[in-house]
Structure 1
Amino acid sequence: MKVGLDVGGTKTDAVAVRDDGQIAGRVRLATGWGPDAVARTVVDAVTALADSIGIERSTIGSIGVGMPGQVEPGTTRVVHAVNLGVDELDLAAAVEPELGVPVRVENDVKAAALGAYALHSGATSMAYLNLGTGVAAGIVMNGQLWRGAFGTAGEVGHISVDPNGPLCRCGQHGCIEALAGGGAIAERWARAGALPVRDVFDAADAGDAQARILRDGLASGVAAAVRVLVLTADVDTVVLGGGITALADRLMADVAAELAASAAASPFMRSLRLDGRVELLPVGSPAAALGAALIGAARDPEEALAHG
């Protein structure tokens, strides 16, 4: 049995995967804040998962963990996971002594990309575009993660598409993330609310001028990311995931309109049929946890394949 965990800013999703690739069990726990609490969350999630399917922890063969922030290549050291309160954490060193199982760690978006590919049928290549607090993508070719020379393949959030656009936290203007990242939208909206991006959509529907600008910018940023991913990697499919995709058809209609506008203006863009190459990850999908399980079970995590 292989186990995968997706450690998010509020919740941790854990799955147990059988050798045939089927998910045998799934649990969700609240994620603790800070390095010690995050490590405890991982241990508690693995324990709860084993209990839920009636197995001993000792029968688990591998554990993979998807984490926000940067994961230093070839290590289990996570840095700059700011939404977990983690500046630096060697996760394996923190949890392996108690779990007694090998632990591997991957960036959460890359793990989700591998899991989304495993759940998708018919695609030879795929880009998973995560629309959350920030914007980033993971690219899978023939079942294998494409990391690039320095592990930055898919960091489309910091491609500037409008030099006169809003300032991005990276220092550039008009980055895709500055337009389509939930954190940037909330900051520019600057109104109290539990779900700022949804509030922006509601206000735009009601005719608020600022909300319309933000909503249009979001659609423009997502469409730009789709074009970048297709034009650079020529993937079969771009799968959209992350918290913003909870807007579902409201988001997709805007993105489709942006893609249609570029297609109408360019025979070349029209030939790419971008509107037919974009889809949403189903709500509640265990893609990130499943991808983490595949990475944890791989003999060489750099060669982890989506088919396990």
Structure 2
Amino acid sequence: MGPVSVTSVGLDIGGTKTLGLAVDGTGRIVAEVRRPTDAGPAGVIRTAAAVVAELRAVTGEPLAVPVGVGIPGLVDAEQGVVRHAVNLGLTGDSLPLRDLLSAELGTPVTVENDANAATLGAVAHTGHGDLVYLSIGTGLAAGLAVEGRLHRGVHGAAGEVGHIPVDPQGLACSCGQTGCLETVASGSALAAAWPVADDYPAQALFAAAAAGDPKAIAVRDRFAAGVAAAVRVLCLTVDPDTVVLGGGVAQLGDPLRVAIAAALLDQASRAPFLAALDLAGRLRVLPSEVPVAALGAALLGQRP
């Protein structure tokens, strides 16, 4: 590849892979690199540096540009510090990721929670500035954009809808509460309710339900109702124009949107107030090939 006008780099650091993008000033992706993520503080830094080095080789540019990072866990965006990213082996003291990676790369680095980074990527891809990105993965959490800007909250907890208790008689949640939405409306909850031998319980469940299996239909509908409850809470709180479904379970694509929309329509059939808000009509699933978290991370680097 010949020289290109790269203005920022975005890294989506996940438990299994790290995706890196080189992006120009219009938000166009000009290069993309994936590598397995090495666990632990040193492994995360090593993997990120290797991805940037490969992007430099692919683009033929030194990439002395800002680097944005989206990473799971509790992220202090102002300080660039990450805590409790368990799937990355970051379980001890806080990791000053911004400073360590900036020293390694020789460029400015911005660090953000991965759901928030994905929210910015979804805003850029859809063109909707008032947007909720609902990540349905191992857990359940949302990123909130208001007029195109992230809303994190005073403690960075805005959008932690998965930890809203909805069933006092429900299951214990990892957060210490009981009956949280995450215990019924997350990838881990779905896997527990529909255990399979392979790594794709969501696909297996929806396929069985589509084939008419009564038990699968019941499990699918309970899961969809839980996600619909999260959508309802978010829409009644921030009233976004669009709710983008993301995370690992969203790899199901439109069947997921249809199931959640059906649950929302069922709820609205008994509540004219909800019916007037057209919550089901706000749902959207982006194509699986759109790397919203890495794209959003790259856009972080372009912001003042």
Distance in 2 (CA, whole Å) between partners of 1:9 and 1:211 is: 29
Partner of 1:174: 179
Structure 2 residue aligned with 1:114, among 101, 105, 120? 120
Partner of 1:77: 81
Distance in 2 (CA, whole Å) between partners of 1:18 and 1:40 is: 25
Shift of 1:277: 0.6
Distance in 1 (CA, whole Å) between partners of 2:218 and 2:88 is: 31
Structure 2 residue aligned with 1:61, among 52, 62, 65? 65
Whether 2:188 is the aligned partner of 1:152: answer: no
Distance in 1 (CA, whole Å) between partners of 2:74 and 2:215 is: 34
SS at match of 1:149: coil
Deviations 1:171-228 (A, max 9, x none): 3333221111112322344443221222333344556665444322210111111111
The question of whether the paired residues in 1 share the 8 Å contact of 2:253 and 2:287 is answered with no
Structure 1 residue aligned with 2:282, among 274, 277, 295? 277
Unaligned runs of 5+ in 2: 1-6
Structure 1 residues 285-300: aligned runs within 5 Å:
285-299=290-304
After superposing the two structures, state which structure 1 stretch, 92-101 or 227-236, moved more. Answer: 92-101
Structure 1 residue aligned with 2:273, among 264, 268, 280? 268
SS at match of 1:180: coil
Whether 2:220 is the aligned partner of 1:183: answer: no
SS at match of 2:84: strand
The amino acid across from 1:64 in the alignment is: G
Distance in 2 (CA, whole Å) between partners of 1:79 and 1:214 is: 34
Change (3 A) 1:49 1:166: same
SS at match of 1:113: helix
The question of whether the paired residues in 2 share the 8 Å contact of 1:105 and 1:296 is answered with no
Partner of 2:199: 194
SS at match of 1:12: strand
Deviations 1:86-139 (A, max 9, x none): 124221333222310111110000010011101112x24000001111110001
Count of aligned pairs between the two proteins: 296
**Residue identity (%):** 49
Structure 1 residues 84-99: aligned runs within 5 Å:
84-87=88-91, 88-99=94-105
Whether 2:34 is the aligned partner of 1:17: answer: no
TM-score relative to the length of structure 1: 0.90
After superposing the two structures, state which structure 1 stretch, 157-166 or 281-290, moved more. Answer: 157-166
Unaligned runs of 5+ in 1: 300-308
